[in-house]
Chain A
Amino acid sequence: MAAPAETAVPLSRIAVNRKAVATVAVVGNPNAGKSSVFNRLTGLRQHVANYPGVTVERRIGRGIFGGVSLDLIDLPGTYSLSPASTDEKIAVDVLFGRVAGTPKPDAILAVIDSTRLYQGLYLLQQLTELGRPMIVALTMIDAAERDGRKIDFKALEDALGGAPVYPIVATSGRGFPALNAALAKILAVPPPRATAHWPELERAAEALVTRWRGRGPDLHRVEAERLLIDASAPALIPQTGTDIAAARAELFGAEPPLAAEARRRYAWVRDTLARVESPGSGVVTQTARLIEWMNRPWPGTAALIVLMFLVFQAVFAWATPLMELIDAGFGSLGSLVAAVLPDGTWIESLIVKGIIAGVGSVIVFLPQILILFLFINLLEDTGYLARAAFLVDRAMRSVGLSGQSVIPLLSSFACAVPSIMATRVIPNRRDRIATILAAPFMTCSARLPVYALLIGAFVPAQRVGIVNLQGLVLFGLYAIGIVGGVATALLLRSSVLRGENPTFILALPEFRLPNVRTVAMKLLDRVRVFLHRAGTIIFAVAVVVWALTYFPRSPEVDQARAVAEAEARASLAGPVLERRLADIGNEAAADHIAQSWLGRAGHWVEPAFRPLGWDWRVSAAVIAGFPAREVVVAVLGTIYAVGEEADEETLAGRLTAAQHPGGTPVFTLPMVLGLLLFYAWCLQCAATLAVIRRETNSWRWPVFAWSYMTALGYGGALLIYQLGTA
């Protein structure tokens, strides 16, 4: 059993040192703008943890309304109190106070999408029966107005037993002053008036509550009702199975309880909707017309393609200068520190080449990741990505994925780690695993330095017609990644993960303006995950690789260096001397690494990689890259005696000149293409493996993914080299 989550928001985390007066559950349909509302009400005073035993995040924030402090719990979105997924189950469990370490909410803030009142009313009716003070926030009221809908708020309040209703727009803040004022007095709001919606069920539930009194925790009538309806409800009280079965048989007969409930409640919903909502004048605004047009399949797909193209352009155009800046910055820092520390000691080497270079190699990816996730979050928040999922669903299903795989797979182009976590939205386990295994194939930011180096050095910078060769190869690598991912999903779904496609009924949200605050917070979240999960591992790996290249120390290399330097000083002077000394240093470093642990490993595995055209240096660099691709370019630089900070041209030059012992060049075109393919298809990221393990809850999948992708990469590189050199 996992340890319980923290009971209260730690004082260090909140701005006000006052205990909250009450706990309010923020509950509502998915995609209703709940998080936007939550963020606006709590700002940065949020605390994120995990519910015990599940991978669902718990978000609690402190809101201060007219001096009154309230703890708000942002519950996962749900459509009813009968949960359909782990997320929804947590929401229901928290509402009933059944989660260890999370306080039972004293009051409810229901956040409902005003453009989807039909579904919202279902949950609202269930919530009114809980007997707790409740306030309703109707979001996206501007979208409803845009569609020409008019809602009678008084009639709605009446239908909900008196629960006050507040129309708001989470993006602009419209309606929030009234909502804040209401929240300040929420405990004084009387619980909604009870109306007997389903007398037979209520009577049966009451009977059970009375019968079981004293045998376990006291149940609320609604909890007993849920037990009667949900086939999978846990037996909260021992030995109640027969009671429940008997009551169900009497109440429902042969009809599934959920269907019976849906039938009855939705009859009320239709009735209420007719009283509360009027379709309006029927005048459709220009915006609405444009949006309808965009929703059509062909315009929609065209828009999607254009959008994707623009996003990727932006990512590369904007991120590259920033990345160079960061790289230069860390380089300078390294030189600065090197100047301060005693030369040639392991401390200096560890700090400059291990730690600073290691941290730098993580931070340098931040611009790309930030920009790509910014765009994805923006699109997600406008509701566009749900539409995109709708468009591509059929195509995705033909390759064994689901429409909802689109967001995680897109995010993988920045970094697979947070995107594999994002696969939680995919309800079907088989679809989800297929997506998780396809994700590492998408060309992530870390592959780009290697691509850039190899393409820049070995693919001629020419144009063939209107197409730039180097750009073509880069695009080809992206394509090959996608092909690999898709083929993997297909393979899995037709063999190991074979199974039925489950019910896929998605509520499609209306288009709305993105909420800057929500987008920013989600961005911070994803970046936090990258820095914390990926970053710590990458950093650790960089240090380990440093150690492997540093030890063991070789006195012979040092002696040879000293001799060479003495010679140089004797015969040269000025800038020529400086250059010669630098060269000696680089050569010494290369000799050193040749006899280091990493170098020896490279020699040791060389036979296995010779059919791919690799020599021990390339093998050593690739081995170093296995836990984290990022270190490869630096290691290559050292091995080829240009030092890690040499510019690409120098390194490229060295690579081109590299030779096998017999005199043949190492980096031939087939070998380079094979190497590129190896990088495209090989899984070289310990952070990704760790997160796959976490999300699939077993070692089987990460081991499979690693073995499968390495074999694929090896096979592909082998094929290309052998075919090309035949």
Chain B
Amino acid sequence: MVLGLVEGAEIVFLRRSLGGDPLEIRIYGAAISLRDEQARRFKVVSNGRAG
């Protein structure tokens, strides 16, 4: 939360690490690493834009 994963935030999914976990996303230019089980708790709505 403190890192900015709040409602309405735009994230860009970058990649998954070895074995699929953790995953890296970019949120307004800042890269964050998130474990799969936590990532699942967020509801993400695609807005169709890449990058």
Contact = CB atoms under 8 A, between A and B. Distances in A.
A149 B32 contact: no
B2 A118 contact: no
B31 to A, nearest CB: 4
B34 interface: yes
B16 A506 contact: no
B1 A259 contact: yes
Interface in A173-194: none
Contacts of A394: 17-22
B3 to A, nearest CB: 6
Nearest to A84: B2
A507 B18 contact: no
Nearest to A403: B22
Contact of A270 (B2, B9, B33): B9
B4 A395 contact: no
B29 interface: yes
Contacts of A503: 35, 38
A35 interface: no
Interface of A: 79-80, 82, 84, 115-119, 122, 147, 149, 258-259, 262-263, 266-267, 269-270, 273, 277, 295-297, 301, 390-395, 397, 403, 501, 503-510
A258 B35 contact: no
Contacts of A80: 2
A118 B30 contact: yes
Task: Determine chain A's interface SS by DSSP, over half rule.
Answer: helix
Contacts of A395: 18-19
B33 A505 contact: yes
Interface string B23-51: 01001111111110110000000000000
Contact of A277 (B15, B29, B32): B29
A269 B29 CA distance: 13
Given A270-B28, A273-B28, A507-B32, A122 B21 contact: no
B29 A115 contact: yes
Contacts of B21: 393-394, 397
Contact of B33 (A147, A297, A508): A508
A504 B15 contact: no
B21 to A, nearest CB: 4
A122 B9 contact: no
Contacts of B14: 295
- From A119, A392, A397, residue with most partner B Cβ within 10 Å: A119
Interface residues of B, number: 30
B31 A510 contact: yes
A296 B17 CA distance: 8
Given A259-B6, A297-B16, A391-B18, 10 more contacts: A79-B2, A79-B3, A118-B28, A122-B2, A149-B29, A258-B1, A263-B7, A270-B8, A390-B17, A504-B35
Contacts of A296: 15
A506 B2 contact: no
Contacts of A266: 4, 6, 9
Contact of B3 (A82, A295, A501, A507): A507
- From A392, A397, A504, residue with most partner B Cβ within 10 Å: A504
Contacts of B29: 115-118, 147, 149, 277
B2 A390 contact: no
A301 B18 CA distance: 8
A698 B24 CA distance: 37
Nearest to A506: B33
B30 A507 contact: yes
By Cβ-Cβ distance, the 3 closest A-B pairs, closest first, are: A118-B28, A116-B30, A394-B19
Contacts of A270: 8-9, 28
Contacts of B24: 295, 390, 508
Contacts of A277: 29
Contacts of A82: 2
Nearest to B36: A394
A119 B26 CA distance: 12
A390 B28 contact: no
Contacts of A116: 29-31
Nearest to A389: B33
20 contacts: A80-B2, A84-B2, A116-B30, A262-B2, A262-B4, A263-B6, A266-B4, A270-B8, A273-B28, A277-B29, A390-B17, A391-B18, A394-B22, A403-B22, A501-B37, A505-B33, A507-B30, A507-B32, A508-B24, A510-B31
B30 to A, nearest CB: 4
B18 A118 contact: no
B47 to A, nearest CB: 15
Contacts of B19: 394-395
Contacts of B35: 393, 501, 503-505
Given A390-B17, A391-B18, A262 B33 contact: no
Given A119-B4, A269-B4, A393 B30 contact: no
Contacts of B2: 79-80, 82, 84, 122, 258, 262
